[in-house]
Structure 1
């Protein structure tokens, strides 16, 4: 008999109701988006009357998930940046010099005096006065090496040491360079993501491209320059010993030192040791604050390792100045008055409240391990995005109308049932996409249009099979039942192969290709559900009420 158990009917209708409920917020996009933004602001501490009013514009007990609009629909900023990994090599060599200096000083009787020599940025060159002690010097410096931490570099060391005349040369091994490249790219991706998340943007796309490039797309941002200002600052904070203060940038600082300008005092420069005491990478927190005079400042706190180094340095250098350097500019150069324990302090300067807040955001998000060279930048205006949305709507409505008319003309009342299922299918698609905050792009709209055309394929297979079964004169109930049973294998086979294609597109593709794959894959799942279960339920309910002796498909 043609029947569906009661519990199955309840489950089918419940699935439809839940799906439509999750899709409904997209019909009131602006209102729900304002509600979500206001709720986030209130949770972050901005509990103002305007935010409370915006939050009350949508009932809190209703779903509030939305399908996020991608860059090509909302407008926004697009950047392609190249990570300067060579900067990391140079920084690594700079940080290695104090260790090399200390280990060679202990063997001065063998290697003689040591002097740091100029050389390539990714190479540390040290001249020793006793060439006969070169082998001992190489042995000592090799003792500073550590195993490479990577899957491909197991069993190798991180540095290579050799002699070049009277110079001892230290370079990074090839395995360590590869490991640094990988770590630098991963760290850059994470820090860029954290910085963008700090300003509350919606669904940014941050992806690695190739060996040393990063793709960044942020919908809703005003311009590419605004995005560059947000992520382009490396925010490299260091605390460095001060050797002297000068009024010229052309003074010779000496090997191992550098000349750095003052941020607040025009024409003032500081000669600093290149090797920092601590760096911003050891910061665990930074927040806007005020100094003892009520002026905007930034308070900070180090991790235990950084706090210990900071405390030891201040204890040993009371009365000496040290520089707080941000992005190669001296923010402040105070004199150490006492031992600073606890690993915390405060950065003062001629900040405004906005500047201190932005600096805290950059420091809290972490220092970029290397500079970014922007190779490509585009700003997509919201007008262009709206044009894309309008074009997508027209394409979807044309496809939708054509399919509806075709089904009614081809299958009559059964075509009407298929059309009802198709409408519910679109609702389920948007409910599914809204439930996990998927991003809809222009290729994604193409995936929806394709789904509309494909969604009736299963119904066509069933209806044609029912036509065949009606010719055997087994009666309409048996014909409908056999039609669904015998068409099921063809429906499953056709949709599984298409779903596998969507999965491959998602895994292998990027950006727009993934947007198309997501909507296509979700559309396949919802269309199979509506074709096999919803359309059949509608036909069964009609058949139970009318009990026709004959049917026409």
Structure 2
């Protein structure tokens, strides 16, 4: 091998850089362990809310050393912040946290650009676009243009009541065509989404999350946000979804509107209770009153949902505001939507005096640990726009008010300061309040007691916690979102579940590594030991590169690394088998090593390129953890090639040049797979029959039983719940079906853990709906939770062992997109590989044989999942992880097939006198040792991960195990025979004719 010195230098430098990069991870882990110990020593577990206090102590300690030098390497010193930045990033499934995809509402942006147009065609086009989106791969804007064009008639987008508005003056005029307007609107939408992205990025930066990830996904208005390590999930989702639409409104006195509520209640009696009252028996009123008092004493304020409310509005009131204050009445949070519906009915609003017909009813922010919210009446106007908005706020800071409670202080610009002075002066003179409204929620409604407030200073007070005040100041500084952002996909993982995943990943990694290292020595002796050294360097390089690139390590990523260990053996096996062949021909050891490496290179490159192509497609189409799997697989392929081809060669040459002797086998394996001559082609008809039967069974099951499609493909919510005792999934399913209409509970791992899936309220995306779902889930499961409180059920404690461990949500729209992306990922990988094989082997029959064999493998894997998902004791949902497994199976199956094809091509060139059938049989026989060796090694690795790697990737591993077995079979009995059967008779005769010609020449 030439340039040995350069390879040595590169290997040493590469190894040192990897160790350097990983040293930051070890140091960061050490510091964080120390922080936990300090927090535990300061806060006893007997204290109230000790978990939150320990978490705060830990955070305070780490913040206190943020700029201190904590790592001294002699030539350089690093602060904790620098160490943390350089440490390896752990993904959601290893560290806990939240991963969401936000959909910025393009519909709301369009309404804003059109100044909330009342044009019926415009609004119908918006509604039609929303319907189209349910089964469309287009962006919302594309579907809006499509819907508008279908119904527009003579109406133009540049109409004065659509986009020819003051806001777009100078960019759109009445003479512009629809196509010209579309270009302007597209630009405006892009600008708004970029603005939303920047606002969210600023908020996340202020939030102080370690290694956050925020990406804009194409042009669809979707934004991916990953916040590993976040524990307060409700706080994080609130931060992301708040539009920060700050408004200041004058408020009416609450007592002035209580009479209106009384009048509204009377009107509603005729609307809600249209039937005449049933004649009551004498004494009923007294008996009902007594029952009502008993219920009140017992705390039972619920009513039969089928019963008729005697006072539709008044029955919902739970209290009044103080005299002279802005609160009209208090209601329960659960009744908010109903009260809002009642107050906005035309018959009810008709009761308002003419001068108050634009009144705006709004609800307040609920106080902590309270189920009640206040109702306010704000002085509105025809345009429903506030006199003063948050656009005038130049700065916002969290502070403490006169009573010592957290609040948010704001500073306004000159224009805002002038209007604020006018509003506060008016409120002072009239004795009224000013409501401070954020995202349609009244946070506070202070009165003005000391005259007009000059200078533009104001504050928002309320029942804030310190974190809430910090977050509110944060979102106000970052600015408002141009439109609401709904969470259409989310995954939440508890930190204790993440720690379990790390432990399981380490265990499976060490077991798989030990098995492979030992096997290589058993099979190849000393040469196997050199391969092991190269493999150890390979692992170091993989982790070093991941750390250096700032890539995120996920549980599927660990699986990718462990799988790389199994697959990295393949290159060494190919090389060693070729060396053994050269030695068997009688060549000297050094010559055999030289020729073995040279002859193996083509096969190694072809095999790894085909696997790399499928991994690349997986990286392009995958998201989150699946992208992590593809990343580690791609890196692993590159480092495996380097270590197998160069490092192993260096070690072998060093040993041989010192006089060492290598035989590349042991007493057990010396003659294993030697001098085989199996007639594979003669057995192809039997193989076709066997495969045909399996394919028919698979297709039959797929058509009748189908697959267990996960929420990735159908939408819904999934909850992973762990109980203190074993539970019956059938019983839980029945209980949850009563609560959610339909639900499915399956054992997930141990018998005390369930995976619960429901499509209940799947189209509702607000954070309050997610919270409502968690509450309902807790109520339904309460009989099985052994007295666990709701706070402990959803707790984010690092040591949590029971309760809600993880939940995942996908809306139907994005589920359809995931399904489409998965389809294109699989199809794209097959097309790319077909073209690559065609380019390398010059015959379309090779490509066809390989791709048909892959179809065969995929169908059988799907069939196995369809046949077994109902009774196997682990999750076999078809989700994005399963698609990753299918693509990996495709890559592995092609890897096997390409090795065989490469040997066929070699023998065709070397043995032109052989007939084509003999070439194939000999090629398959000569590569059988490599095929079985690599497959068995990889299977051992996969079994280690399957058994010890944890519940969350067991189905993923099962798909790979089935795929490797079927892929090995198909490369021997399907791909090559199919290629042979599609080769023309003329091609097959070439070898026979060459053989006859050669015999005639000898006779002459």
TM-score (norm 1): 0.70
Alignment of 1:432-511 (within 5 A): 432-470=545-583, 475-511=588-624
Instruction: Check conservation: 1:35, 1:56, Cα contact below 8 A.
Output: no
Residue 348 (structure 2) pairs with residue 237 (structure 1): no
Instruction: Specify the alignment match of 1:512 in structure 2.
Output: 625
Q: Could you tell me which of 144, 161, 168 is aligned with 1:146?
A: 168
Alignment of 1:279-298 (within 5 A): 279-280=389-390, 283=393, 285-289=395-399, 298=408
Instruction: Check conservation: 1:262, 1:269, Cα contact below 8 A.
Output: no
Instruction: Specify the alignment match of 2:89 in structure 1.
Output: 68
Q: Distance in 2 between matches of 1:200 and 1:315?
A: 35
Instruction: Check conservation: 2:436, 2:460, Cα contact below 8 A.
Output: no
Deviations 1:96-140 (A, max 9, x none): 8xxxxxxxxxxxxxxxxxxxx9999969xxxxxxxxxxxxx9699
Deviations 1:300-331 (A, max 9, x none): 456xxxx4643675698894457643233264
Q: Distance in 2 between matches of 1:350 and 1:232?
A: 20
Q: Distance in 1 between matches of 2:163 and 2:586?
A: 93
Instruction: Specify the alignment match of 1:12 in structure 2.
Output: 11
Instruction: Specify the alignment match of 1:127 in structure 2.
Output: none
Q: Distance in 2 between matches of 1:359 and 1:76?
A: 21
CA gap of 1:140–1:483, structure 2 versus 1, over 3 A, is closer
Q: Distance in 1 between matches of 2:112 and 2:574?
A: 66
Aligned-pair distance for 1:271?
Answer: 0.6
Instruction: Specify the alignment match of 1:349 in structure 2.
Output: 461
Aligned-pair distance for 1:423?
Answer: 0.9
Alignment of 1:209-224 (within 5 A): 211=220, 216-222=225-231, 224=233
Q: Could you tell me which of 365, 374, 378 is aligned with 1:270?
A: 378
Deviations 1:248-277 (A, max 9, x none): 367567576634567799676431443245
Alignment of 1:21-170 (within 5 A): 21-26=20-25, 30-33=29-32, 51-52=64-65, 58-59=71-72, 61=77, 65-77=86-98, 79=100, 83-92=104-113, 142=164, 144=166, 146=168
CA gap of 1:146–1:28, structure 2 versus 1, over 3 A, is closer
Aligned-pair distance for 1:530?
Answer: 1.4
Aligned-pair distance for 1:474?
Answer: 5.8
CA gap of 1:254–1:484, structure 2 versus 1, over 3 A, is farther
Q: Distance in 2 between matches of 1:244 and 1:30?
A: 57
Q: Distance in 1 between matches of 2:28 and 2:176?
A: 56
Q: Distance in 1 between matches of 2:100 and 2:464?
A: 29
Alignment of 1:353-392 (within 5 A): 354=466, 355-373=468-486, 379-392=492-505
CA gap of 1:67–1:457, structure 2 versus 1, over 3 A, is same
**SS of 1:456 mapped into structure 2:** helix
Instruction: Specify the alignment match of 1:310 in structure 2.
Output: 416
**SS of 1:288 mapped into structure 2:** strand
Aligned-pair distance for 1:537?
Answer: 2.4
Instruction: Check conservation: 1:31, 1:58, Cα contact below 8 A.
Output: no
Deviations 1:480-500 (A, max 9, x none): 334334433333333233223
Deviates more, 1:320-329 or 1:261-270: 261-270
Q: Distance in 2 between matches of 1:21 and 1:8?
A: 20
Instruction: Specify the alignment match of 2:234 in structure 1.
Output: 225
Aligned-pair distance for 1:94?
Answer: 5.2
Unaligned runs of 5+ in 2: 37-58, 125-158, 258-327, 329-342, 344-351, 368-372, 428-433, 665-1004
CA gap of 1:472–1:139, structure 2 versus 1, over 3 A, is closer
Residue 203 (structure 2) pairs with residue 195 (structure 1): yes
Instruction: Check conservation: 2:247, 2:390, Cα contact below 8 A.
Output: yes
CA gap of 1:255–1:401, structure 2 versus 1, over 3 A, is same
Q: Distance in 1 between matches of 2:400 and 2:26?
A: 46
**SS of 1:504 mapped into structure 2:** helix
Q: Distance in 2 between matches of 1:141 and 1:208?
A: 27
Deviations 1:328-372 (A, max 9, x none): 3264678794875xxx64435357682542321121233233335
Aligned-pair distance for 1:59?
Answer: 4.1
Q: Distance in 2 between matches of 1:175 and 1:191?
A: 24
Aligned-pair distance for 1:417?
Answer: 0.8
Q: Distance in 2 between matches of 1:315 and 1:286?
A: 18
Aligned-pair distance for 1:518?
Answer: 0.6
Unaligned runs of 5+ in 1: 38-45, 97-116, 124-136, 160-172
Q: Which has the higher contact order (CA 8 A, sep 6+)?
A: 1
Deviates more, 1:25-34 or 1:140-149: 140-149
CA gap of 1:188–1:35, structure 2 versus 1, over 3 A, is farther
Deviates more, 1:12-21 or 1:469-478: 469-478
Q: Could you tell me which of 637, 640, 649 is aligned with 1:536?
A: 649
Q: Distance in 2 between matches of 1:384 and 1:356?
A: 30
Aligned-pair distance for 1:50?
Answer: 7.9
Instruction: Check conservation: 1:277, 1:310, Cα contact below 8 A.
Output: no
Instruction: Check conservation: 1:148, 1:158, Cα contact below 8 A.
Output: no
Instruction: Check conservation: 2:392, 2:415, Cα contact below 8 A.
Output: no
Aligned-pair distance for 1:526?
Answer: 1.4
Residue 354 (structure 2) pairs with residue 258 (structure 1): no
Instruction: Specify the alignment match of 1:106 in structure 2.
Output: none
Aligned-pair distance for 1:35?
Answer: 8.6
Q: Distance in 2 between matches of 1:257 and 1:119?
A: 25
Q: Distance in 2 between matches of 1:138 and 1:438?
A: 50
**SS of 2:244 mapped into structure 1:** coil
Instruction: Check conservation: 2:243, 2:483, Cα contact below 8 A.
Output: yes
Q: Count matched residues.
A: 486
Q: Distance in 2 between matches of 1:401 and 1:284?
A: 61
Aligned-pair distance for 1:451?
Answer: 0.6
**SS of 2:65 mapped into structure 1:** helix
